[in-house]
Structure 1
Amino acid sequence: MSTSDPVSALSVWLALESHTHHAPGVNGMMDLVAAEVEGLPIAVERIPGRDGLGDALILRAGLSTGTPGLAVMSHLDTVHPVGTAARDLPVRVEGDRLYGPGVYDMKGGAYLALQAFKQVALAGTAKRPLVFLFTPDEEIGSPTTRGLIEEIGRQSAAVLVTEPAREGGKIVTARKGVGRFEVKLEGRPAHSGARHADGRSAIREAAHQILAIEGLTDYARGVTTTVALMGGGTAANVIPQHAWFSVDLRVATAADGAALEREILGLTPRDPDVRISVSGGMNRPPYEKSPEGAALFETAKRIAAGIGFELQDCPMTGGGSDGNFTAALGVPTLDGLGIDGEGAHTLSEYALISSIAPRQALIKGLLETV
């Protein structure tokens, strides 16, 4: 596909909806990527999906020199259900804004990085072997691809992640770790009128536990706890036997992640007649700032200055990405290298068309320099 009109090419990507749990759409995106590199000096490896999810795709270019490579990582799944483009977020251009499901998070970044990868592969200007991993399940925590991400990370001198830019073009050099937990409670049912005292309310116990968990939030430490989903009960006149809720945990340090994980997994009931079971844990380790990451950022700043813009990073962001996995291994990782725009995970999601060329040039420069 020609790269002379990136808006038209990217619009094709957006029109192919690829919600994480819609494997045909995700695999269709992998097909589009594979078609882009057909006939080029780029090796393609496709890894079949599992657990009902889509495939992963690995592109390799450059000479195998025996030295650690340089990895690029993008995901092609989105949070938007199939039908979003027809109903709520049609693919369209309004001024400098390109709208569409997943354009900002993160098809725009995946697209422009692929163009840079192709340019460097054709020119043979990379200093290291190049690897580009496209994953199908980042939006749900990368359950089927974490091992692959970490394997490629361990073999790499650095990792570039094409999640969207932040706050007007800033890149990401630190992310909070993410934990997810499911809490289930079982009480004792009883008629709420005739036998109220005999019952033990699972929902009442859940209310106590939810307040305790929400109370663990500590902004000074960068710790947040959120209960955003809950349910329970069977009928309006029955003391509820069952209840459940989910917990989202974000932490700035690995030590806090371990401590909060122990605390949440160790919940004990206030009412001894109610049973609590907790599953889950930390699913993304914190991506903490490091001297090696700082040096990689300085390289990116110099490249950006040569292109004609000032590159800045942002404070630690609360959202996780596949960069968490590689950074936790000690691999220098730069994130947020994708397209600029706003509205990730919303029905007003858009990307700035004017950001495509400079962001693509930045990634090209990194592929040729690091």
Structure 2
Amino acid sequence: MDVHGPDTAAMTERLEQYVRHETPTGDAARLDALADLLLDRHHALGADVRRVDSETGDHLVMEHPGAGDKADDAPVLFVGHHDTVWPAGHLEDAMPWRIDDGVAHGPGVFDMKSGLVVMETALETVRARGVAHRPVRVVIVADEEVGSPSSTELVASCADGAAVALGFESPHPDGALKVGRRGSSRVRVSVRGRASHAALDPGAGVSAVDELVDQLVRVRALVADAPGEVLCNVGTLVGGGKTNVVPAEAGAEIGLRFLDAETERVVLDGLTGLHPVRSGADVITDVLTRRPTWTSGAGEQRLMDVVRAAAASVRQEVTRRPAAGAADTNTTGALGLPTVDGLGPRGAGAHAAHEQAVLASLPERAELVAALLTDL
């Protein structure tokens, strides 16, 4: 590590190493293999490290000590994930690792393995320079891409006692940081009816499909009457079988996005309170994953003032605006912890085949985060 600044070549080499470890969400063996590397890396940087067991891939918590007169201050929380949306095999087929004109390509290169490299390089930088800084608590989860069903409570517990939270997801396309995120919930509406012969004894049956259709009409009305804007997408429909059998089961998975907490509360209360339209049917609503709405406030404004000053000290400029997508920083921000996300490098194509990261922006981001750590 050059004490004068992050090394682009070293960061690129580490990024390639991480990208070549494919980590589809739910593939515990592959996720844990990369987790081993991440734990070793943070341990080498002086952290106390631990794994949090999960059947679908372990989550990681690393406690880096502070230094100087800030060693006993409340910690800064770093938030990230090591799972990706890409199935194993994409690296050797549709999305090979390559570098074209200073831009790295490959599965997970932008979302968010480059952010993990920025995170650890910033920690390495402040350690090499021997500057005073707060302790840093790092949480890296293995199921972010599916709504963090097994790690949301861990992220919330790691936020307890922290001074601020910094997220290392990708920034906006122009490099702007993300302050504020829509709430995001995934809901399953399950209907149970009663099967019967559709011609010989139709009156004995209760159609779960018909009931589901009526319930989805109710969902649309609930969304339309909500106090604020809601994005609602019915992503999956299941039910029925043979046309001569009244279907006994049906269901739908619904994705919801919210701009404000009150609208989120009203809609989710309405969905979990659905009741059958027809006698003999049962309707059950399960909230599969939920990331609460994060609306920026005074804490984020004060934090951004520090971020801007830190950026100026390393001859950078930063801007911010809310993000439509959800992430684990929804959890920290909704808890009232001042939070800024998007500290990963510039790039494009998150969740797309052209996923890419601009290599020159890796050391820039690491330098920004290192300066921020010394200013907080």
Same fold (TM over 0.5): yes
Partner of residue 28, structure 2:
23
Shift of 1:271: 2.2
Q: Given residue 56 of structure 1, which amino acid in structure 2 is its aligned partner?
A: L
Normalising to structure 2: TM-score of the pair?
0.90
Residue 318 (str. 1) matches residue 321 (str. 2): no
Shift of 1:4: 4.8
Normalising to structure 1: TM-score of the pair?
0.92
Distance 1:319 1:13 in 2: 24
Residue 210 (str. 1) matches residue 216 (str. 2): yes
Name the SS of the counterpart of 2:78 in structure 1.
strand
The answer as to whether partners of 2:8 and 2:363 remain within 8 angstroms in 1 is no
Structure 1 window deviating more from structure 2 (212-221 vs 149-158): it is: 212-221
Name the SS of the counterpart of 2:309 in structure 1.
helix
Distance 2:231 2:132 in 1: 41
Alignment root-mean-square deviation, CA: 2.3
- Which residue of 45, 49, 66 maps to 1:45? 49
Q: Given residue 369 of structure 1, which amino acid in structure 2 is its aligned partner?
A: D
Percent pairwise identity: 27
Partner of residue 134, structure 1:
140
The answer as to whether partners of 1:216 and 1:224 remain within 8 angstroms in 2 is no
Shift of 1:165: 0.6
Shift of 1:9: 2.1
- Which residue of 56, 61, 68 maps to 1:57? 61
The answer as to whether partners of 1:225 and 1:250 remain within 8 angstroms in 2 is yes
CA 58–77 in structure 1, closer or farther in 2 if over 3 Å, else same: same
Residue 226 (str. 1) matches residue 233 (str. 2): yes
Shift of 1:114: 0.9
Name the SS of the counterpart of 1:57 in structure 2.
strand
Residue 276 (str. 1) matches residue 283 (str. 2): yes
Shift of 1:171: 0.8
Distance 2:315 2:73 in 1: 31
User: 1:115-144: per-residue Cα shift (whole Å, max 9, x none)?
Assistant: 011111232314312222222222222233
CA 151–215 in structure 1, closer or farther in 2 if over 3 Å, else same: same
Partner of residue 107, structure 2:
101
The answer as to whether partners of 2:8 and 2:360 remain within 8 angstroms in 1 is no
- Which residue of 328, 347, 350 maps to 1:344? 350
Shift of 1:153: 1.3
Distance 2:240 2:329 in 1: 40
Partner of residue 14, structure 2:
9
Residue 297 (str. 1) matches residue 304 (str. 2): yes
Q: How does 1:49-128 map to 2 (within 5 A)?
A: 49-63=53-67, 65-128=71-134
Structure 1 window deviating more from structure 2 (190-199 vs 111-120): it is: 190-199
CA 107–135 in structure 1, closer or farther in 2 if over 3 Å, else same: same
Q: Given residue 66 of structure 2, which amino acid in structure 1 is its aligned partner?
A: G
* Unaligned 5+ runs, structure 2: none
Structure 1 window deviating more from structure 2 (331-340 vs 65-74): it is: 65-74
CA 66–307 in structure 1, closer or farther in 2 if over 3 Å, else same: closer
Q: Given residue 32 of structure 1, which amino acid in structure 2 is its aligned partner?
A: L
Q: Given residue 44 of structure 1, which amino acid in structure 2 is its aligned partner?
A: D
Name the SS of the counterpart of 2:118 in structure 1.
helix
* Unaligned 5+ runs, structure 1: none
Q: Given residue 268 of structure 2, which amino acid in structure 1 is its aligned partner?
A: E
Name the SS of the counterpart of 1:272 in structure 2.
coil
Structure 1 window deviating more from structure 2 (181-190 vs 162-171): it is: 181-190
The answer as to whether partners of 1:62 and 1:121 remain within 8 angstroms in 2 is no
Distance 1:193 1:347 in 2: 49
The answer as to whether partners of 2:76 and 2:165 remain within 8 angstroms in 1 is yes
Partner of residue 260, structure 1:
267
- Which residue of 138, 148, 161 maps to 1:155? 161
Partner of residue 367, structure 1:
373
CA 355–212 in structure 1, closer or farther in 2 if over 3 Å, else same: farther
Distance 1:77 1:65 in 2: 32
Q: Given residue 26 of structure 1, which amino acid in structure 2 is its aligned partner?
A: L
Q: Given residue 332 of structure 1, which amino acid in structure 2 is its aligned partner?
A: P
Shift of 1:211: 3.1
Number of residue-to-residue matches in the alignment: 368
Q: Given residue 45 of structure 1, which amino acid in structure 2 is its aligned partner?
A: V
Distance 1:76 1:211 in 2: 38
Shift of 1:290: 0.6
Partner of residue 251, structure 1:
258
The answer as to whether partners of 1:88 and 1:347 remain within 8 angstroms in 2 is yes
Name the SS of the counterpart of 1:244 in structure 2.
strand
Shift of 1:199: 3.3
